[in-house]
């Protein structure tokens, strides 16, 4: 008798809020093993909450890379969009990301990247022209976007215009560049999927549709995991 080999899938998410609806759907179609992983067909799905922001994400991914060897790693969560052509609740897949405002300010208070001031070569691995790029083929399901990762959510007219000028991207996150950096350094195949909860405009949380974003994320992610072979 030949036993099938379980495919190890690691799903990381910044907060429990963002992943909870997906866990509820996964509970309905899978069982738990002794390590708290979900057995879904021939896949073993592990979920890890890595925390909010770059620092927490970097720490947890560094620890996980030393302990795991997954077939595929995902980072999922919500994000804000600069692009009004992307719908609220729409799922997008990141092709590239960059660290926003990582470097210095000049005498006129304008941002200078670590590459511009000579601290890093913009093509030194894992960067390519200052960006982190996923080499994996895109999934079929989602719009492909570029992202910028920041330490504070953009929410004023000045910061919106500055980010658009100096870090042009369709969406903004607070973790995905750290995730992509860790996966590239650890040679992990990965995908980063975000569901749009809000447009990036003058900060107004009453306009954010977090419930819609996380429910749509759960539906889309179940489909993706089910199709992995």
Cβ(151)–Cβ(52) under 8 Å? no
- 38, with CB counted inside 10 A (0-12, 13-18, 19+), is buried
Residue 1: per-residue pLDDT: 40
Residue 135: per-residue pLDDT: 96
Question: How does pLDDT run along the chain (229 residues), one tens digit per residue?
Answer: 444 578 999 999 999 999 999 999 999 999 999 999 999 999 999 999 999 999 999 999 999 988 888 899 999 999 999 999 999 999 999 999 999 999 999 999 999 999 999 999 999 999 999 999 999 989 988 999 999 999 999 999 999 999 999 999 999 999 999 999 999 999 999 999 999 999 999 999 999 999 999 999 999 999 999 999 8
Helical axes 16-29 vs 210-227, angle rounded to 10° = 40
Instruction: State CA 77 to chain mean position distance.
Output: 6
Q: pTM for the full model?
A: 0.94
Residue 140: per-residue pLDDT: 86
Residue 4: per-residue pLDDT: 58
Closest Cα partner for 183 from 64, 44, 38, 56? Answer: 64
Residue 88: strand, helix, or coil: coil
Q: Which residues of 141-180 are buried (b: 16+ CB within 10 A; e: fewer)?
A: ebbebbbbbbeeebeeeebbebbeeebebbbbbbbbbbbb
Both structure tokens of 77:
């969560």
The answer to whether the bond into 126 is cis (omega within 30° of 0) is yes
- 210, with CB counted inside 10 A (0-12, 13-18, 19+), is middle
């Amino acid at each position: 008798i030949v036993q099938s080999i379980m495919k190890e899938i690691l799903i990381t998410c910044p907060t429990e809020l963002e992943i909870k609806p997906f866990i509820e759907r996964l509970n309905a179609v899978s069982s738990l093993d002794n390590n708290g992983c979900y057995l879904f067909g021939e896949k073993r799905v592990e979920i890890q909450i890595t925390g909010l922001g770059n620092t927490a994400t970097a720490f947890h991914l560094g620890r996980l890379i030393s302990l795991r060897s997954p077939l595929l790693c995902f980072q999922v969560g919500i994000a804000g969009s600069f692009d009004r052509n992307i719908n609220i609740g729409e799922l997008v897949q990141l092709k590239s990301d960059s660290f926003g405002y990582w470097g210095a300010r000049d005498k006129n208070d304008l941002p200078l990247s670590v590459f511009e001031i000579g601290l890093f070569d913009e093509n030194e691995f894992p960067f390519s022209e200052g960006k982190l790029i996923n080499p994996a083929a895109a999934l079929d399901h989602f719009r492909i976007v570029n992202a910028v990762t920041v330490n504070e959510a953009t929410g004023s007219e000045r910061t919106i215009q500055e980010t658009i000028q100096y870090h042009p991207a369709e969406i903004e996150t607070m973790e995905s560049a750290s995730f992509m950096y860790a996966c590239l350094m650890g040679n992990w195949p990965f995908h980063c999927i975000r569901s749009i909860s809000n447009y990036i405009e003058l900060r107004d949380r009453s306009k954010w549709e977090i419930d819609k974003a996380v429910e749509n994320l759960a539906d889309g992610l179940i489909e993706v995991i089910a199709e992995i072979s």
